[in-house]
Amino acid sequence: MWQRLETRHLARLMLDLCWVGLSPFLAIAIRENFEPGEKLEGVALYGLLCVLSAAIVFSVARLHRTFWRYTSLSDVLHVVVAVTVTLLLALLATFTINRLEGVARSVPVIQWFLVIALMISSRVGVRLLGERYGRRPKPNHYEPNTQEHVLIVGVSDLTELYLRSVVEFASNFVVVGVLTSDAHLHGRTLRQQKVLGAPKDIEQILRRLEVHGVPIARVVVTQAFEKLSKESQDALREIERSSAVRVDWLTERLGLCGLRPGAGDKVSPPSAIDGVEAAAAEKSEFIRVGRYHRMKRAIDAVAVVLVVTTLSPVIALTAVVVAIDVGLPLVFWQQRPGRFGRPLRLFKFRTMRGAHDSEGNRIPDELRSSAVGLFLRRTWLDETPQFYNILIGEMSFVGPRPLLPIDQPEGQEMRLSVRPGLTGLAQINGGRDIPPGDKGSFDLWYIENASLGLDIKIMLRTLRLMIGGGGSEGSLIKQEAANVEDTSAGSDTATSIPQPPKTQRAA
């Protein structure tokens, strides 16, 4: 079963790569009005680099591991971002090699539209085929006593999911319409179901449907109770209390929220994220998240495009070296707490071979690492896939390094109040060699005193560690401490400056 799934994933990746490889030639053909010529030979190198770039970017973005049958708008946006990054990398690599000789400036633009259209068409085609052949079998004869008419309240993604589930699984359900408070949606259709009116008018709508010979047995509410208007809440409560119509609160039945008032007056237990946010609110008087943290996202978005474009040949070469040294897959991931404790998939190039040999025996970690892997870790080149995390807004260039849950410093949840960083103050002052508590102290001090100047200094120190390895970084702490003391003169409170540890190896 596992091998069959891997084969399907590989087939999907190969199909996407085929579209990328064909796209420059199709773009040339469209540009030249489908007249054959020698210009096709000039894009051969560019097409090859497009395929190599796509193999890296698509693997990191995991486009081939999504459920094509359930392609959504989010999946389409991921395709657009991945294709854009792929073509930028290929253009930069081609320009470095031959200054884009034989590749007209309009070709990448036409190619961009072609690749996106072809990849999305593949996914939409798989989804349509799945919906056509995956539907429930129709009953052989009509059984009126088994048919149950259902009215839906709410328009949301959950509404669409419920309608699709009814089509696939519920042979005795007949959805007759949808109700929503948005007046501009009245009269429109959602998956062939007409919006009949507002939830507050449900009593009149039920009577009108009964006159037409459509008695409603069940009302399914796909919105949380607190998001309904007061009139809609009262109308649904009255239907639930005084009639034989069954009212299903779908968000409650799925455990997505607490029970509504009057249904046990229970509330859902606090989540891990709630705990982090509560701790952050409790400690906000001590750690102030300044305005700079709110504008960092725009800086990171511009910077990551420039950095990826500049380093694309290095990233491509690293991917080739990893493929030769440890094989496929090129990238592995670890789930770590991100901003506000939300799960974050941290991507890295693989630097260690498999944990077991062909006979299933465990291989010691010291035998799994090669000289190549040690070099990639020492120079931080194994961290370059995290540019993708920065691009989609999960990480920043500078910030608290995302740690495994077991390594999170106790009582320092505020380090999760900002986006985690590719590097940080702790990484240039000891990294792996300092305990989690000291890392937390560095991170909390950075959060309070972050600035563009400090970020630039941290990035320069990081670059120096990548190139030369080692070196004392205490001067940066002392310099920033002096700056803070100057700006805090006359204040009743002083900013605590963490003391740098003696060890200086970067994480």
CATH number at residue 151: 3.40.50.720
Comparing 83-87, 273-277, 322-326, 464-468, the range with the smallest average pLDDT is 273-277
155: alpha, beta or left? (left if phi > 0; alpha if psi -120 to 50): beta
Residues 250 and 344 in one domain: no
Q: How far apart are CA 389 and CA 424, in angstroms?
A: 16
Same domain, 115 and 154: no
Contacts of 365 (CB under 8 A, 6+ apart): 352
User: DSSP code of 197?
Assistant: E
- Indicate if the alpha-carbon torsion angle 119, 122, 126, 131 is positive or negative: positive
* Torsion over CA: 89, 95, 100, 104 (sign): positive
pLDDT on residue 37: 57
For the chain, what is the mean pLDDT?
A: 78
For residue 495, what pLDDT band results from cuts at 50, 70 and 90?
very low
Helix ranges (DSSP H) in 157-225? 157-169, 202-211
Same domain, 151 and 129: no
Planar angle of CA 440, 443, 444, nearest 5 degrees? 85
Q: Does some domain include residue 493? A: no
pLDDT at res. 110 = 92
- Domain residues for 413? 279-487
Residue with tokens 């204040």: 491
pLDDT at 199: 92
Last residue of a domain, which of 133, 160, 191? 133
Are residue 121 and residue 179 in the same domain, yes or no? no
User: What percentage of residues in the chain have a pLDDT greater than 70?
Assistant: 76
Residue 390 in any domain: the answer is yes
Alpha-carbon gap, residue 501 to 16, rounded angstroms = 49
Q: Which of 133, 160, 195 is the last residue of a domain?
A: 133
Last residue of a domain, one of 216, 235, 262: 262
Backbone phi, then psi, for 362, in 5-degree steps? -70, 135
Residues 453 and 304 in one domain: yes
Percent of the chain surpassing pLDDT 90: 19
Q: Does the residue 494 lie in any domain?
A: no
Distance CA 256, CA 260 (A): 12
β-partners of residue 343 are 337
CA distances from 34 to 28, 39, 113, 388 (A): 8, 12, 17, 37
| Whether residue 329 has a cis bond before it, omega within 30° of 0 | yes
What's residue 20's pLDDT? Answer: 93
Do 121 and 257 reside in the same domain of the chain?
A: no
272 found inside a domain: no
> Do 122 and 252 reside in the same domain of the chain?
no
Same domain, 382 and 463: yes
Please report which confidence band the pLDDT of residue 263 belongs to, taking 50, 70 and 90 as the band edges.
low
What pLDDT is stored for residue 66 in this prediction? Answer: 80
Domain presence at residue 29: yes
Q: Which helix (H) or strand (E) holds 107?
A: helix 106-133
- Residues 190 and 222 reside in one and the same domain: yes
Check residue 140 and give its pLDDT. 45
Using the predicted structure, report yes or no on whether residue 289 has a pLDDT greater than 90: no
Q: What is the pLDDT of residue 86?
A: 93
Could you tell me the sign of the dihedral formed by the alpha carbons of 475, 477, 479, 481, in that order? negative
**pLDDT classification of 142: cutoffs 50, 70, 90:** very low
Under DSSP, is residue 247 helix (H, G, I), strand (E, B) or coil? strand
Residue among 188, 70, 75 at smallest CA distance from 130: 70
pLDDT for 332 equals 84
Phi, psi at 323, each rounded to 5°: -60, -40
What SS3 class is residue 195?
A: strand
Structure tokens at 338: 């991100």
Task: Report the candidate in 479, 480, 471, 477 with the shortest Cα–Cα distance to residue 506.
Answer: 471
Q: Select the highest-mean-pLDDT range: 78-87, 162-171, 246-255, 339-348.
A: 78-87
What is the value of pTM for the model shown? 0.47
Which pair of tokens denotes residue 190? 């959602």
The number of domains in the chain is: 3
Q: How far apart are CA 58 and CA 185, in angstroms?
A: 38
In a domain, 374, yes or no: yes
Residue 174 or 67, more confident: 174
Confidence of residue 82 (pLDDT cuts 50, 70, 90): very high
Task: State the pLDDT at residue 428.
Answer: 85
Q: Is residue 507 one of the residues assigned to a domain?
A: no
Least confident of 202-206, 409-413, 447-451: 409-413
Select the more confidently predicted residue: 262 or 166.
Answer: 166
pLDDT tens, 428-478?
887 667 776 777 788 888 888 888 999 999 999 988 888 775 544 444 555
Closest CA to 374 of 436, 325, 445: 325
Of the candidates 239, 257, 85, 228, the one whose C-alpha atom is nearest the C-alpha of residue 153 is: 228
Domain-located, residue 8: yes
Task: Report pLDDT for 471.
Answer: 45
Q: Kindly state whether residues 333 and 464 are assigned to the same domain.
A: yes
pLDDT of residue 493: 38
198 backbone dihedrals φ, ψ, rounded to 5°: -100, 150
Specify whether the CB–CB gap between 46 and 103 falls below 8 A. yes
Q: Taking the CB of residue 155, how many other CB atoms lie within 10 A of it?
A: 19
Residue 119 has pLDDT above 50, yes or no: yes
List, for residues 350-376, the tens digit of each pLDDT value: 888 776 666 667 777 667 778 888 888
Written in H, E and C, the secondary structure of 392-408 is CCCCEEECCCCCCHHHC
**Looking at residue 387, what is its pLDDT?**
92
